[in-house]
Chains A and B, each alone.
Chain A
Amino acid sequence: EAGVTQSPTHLIKTRGQQATLRCSPISGHTSVYWYQQALGLGLQFLLWYDEGEERNRGNFPPRFSGRQFPNYSSELNVNALELEDSALYLCASGGPGEQYFGPGTRLTVT
């Protein structure tokens, strides 16, 4: 069974640009979660999508947004990139009480 996949693996952008990160959940999972791990910081919850809707949001500015498609894959969009947005972005999929992580996308903002 395929695990959670994320693309791209690495992404380099300049300040002010927009970044789009993608995640495909494990087949059968309807929930997708996004997390950020900035350098020197722990993992922080970003967004939770379930059945196409945003269910919960972490303490991040509106520049961070996303969506979930009918096939349950998800996009995370970061607008007006700032240097401190450089981080590893992890996606996870699952159901109640379970989450399986993807390999992450490393975003570098220069």
Chain B
Amino acid sequence: KNEVEQSPQNLTAQEGEFITINCSYSVGISALHWLQQHPGGGIVSLFMLSSGKKKHGRLIATINIQEKHSSLHITASHPRDSAVYICAVNRRVGGATNKLIFGTGTLLAVQP
């Protein structure tokens, strides 16, 4: 079983829809990241969370440390949001917290 699980793996939405991508993890963490990767492109860091909720434009990320779960929401989705969204956690390894473990990603396609 992967230490970081994302769902769904693939998601197709119509422009304007509200989108939710979920991430669950099974290890102790110090922070959780949401990353965006466009086809053939590099990775952009969207959010880094250790508690609560963050908002940037149409993107909202929440984390529940007790339930070991995070969600990424996209409001009023647009075709340019089409990308792979990756959840990654900073795993606590002994005293070190810098090792990142990645989920397999969610491929989002927003159709006009």
User: Residues of A with Cβ closer than 8 Å to B?
Assistant: 31, 33, 35, 42-45, 48, 50, 55-56, 88, 90, 92, 94, 96-104
Chain A interface helix/strand/loop/mixed: strand
Q: Does B20 contact A (CB under 8 A)?
A: no
**Bound form: Cα–Cα A99–B45 in Å:** 8
**Known contacts being A55-B98, A96-B98, A97-B97, is A104 close to B43, with CB within 8 Å?**
yes
In the bound complex, CA of A100 to CA of B96 (Å):
18
- Lowest 7 A-B CB distances belong to which pairs? A103-B42, A104-B42, A97-B31, A43-B102, A97-B30, A101-B43, A42-B104
**Contact residues in B for A33 (Cβ distance below 8 Å):** 98, 100
Question: CB distance A45 to B44 under 8 Å?
Answer: no
Which of the listed residues A42, A44, A50, A90 has the most CB atoms from chain B within 10 Å of its own CB?
Answer: A42
Q: Whole-angstrom distance from the CB of B107 to the nearest CB of chain A?
A: 12
| CB-based contact B97/A42 at 8 Å | no
Convert B71-112 into 0s and 1s, putting 1 for each residue whose CB lies closer than 8 angstroms to a CB of A. 000000000000000101010010011111111110000000
Residues of A within 8 A of B103 (CB): 42
Given A96-B97, A101-B42, the answer on whether A43 and B88 have CB atoms closer than 8 Å is yes
* B60 contacts across to A, CB distance below 8 A: none
Cα distance, A76 to B101, chains bound together (Å): 20
9 contacts between A and B (CB under 8 A): A43-B86, A43-B102, A48-B99, A56-B93, A92-B100, A97-B30, A98-B31, A99-B90, A99-B100
Q: Does B11 contact A (CB under 8 A)?
A: no
Closest to A48 in B: B98
What is the distance, in angstroms, from A62's C-beta to the closest C-beta of chain B? Answer: 19
The residue that B101 contacts in the complex, of A45, A92, A104, with Cβ under 8 A, is: A45
